[in-house]
Amino acid sequence: MISKAPIYLEKIEKEYVNKEILRVAIIAELDAINLYEQLAQATDDEDIKKILMDIAREEKTHVGEFQALLLKKDREQSSELEKGREEVEEKLENKN
């Protein structure tokens, strides 16, 4: 499923524009990953599957690039991401 992330930069406060651009770019890359992986699963042609999965992996690198930049630009995002990671680790430890 392709997300709908309209960008109306003129309606965004100037201090938030670059963060919004990075988030939309991440969404676009995640959409691409989902699309390529779904297409790979739908085909029984191993050549097509191999190329689609390779491209999906490249898109994952792009997500990492945009996320790294977003974390530099948005300290709150960085802090909350770390809190989320800690919560998951805690819940998984309690599960065992």
pLDDT digits (tens, 9 = 90+) for 25-66: 999 999 999 999 999 999 999 999 999 999 999 999 999 999
pTM of this prediction? 0.82
State the Cα–Cα distance between residues 20 and 36, nearest whole angstrom: 24
Q: How far is 64 from 55, CA to CA, in rounded Å?
A: 14
Residue 59 CB neighbour total at 10 angstroms = 19
In whole angstroms, give the CA distance from residue 32 to residue 55: 9
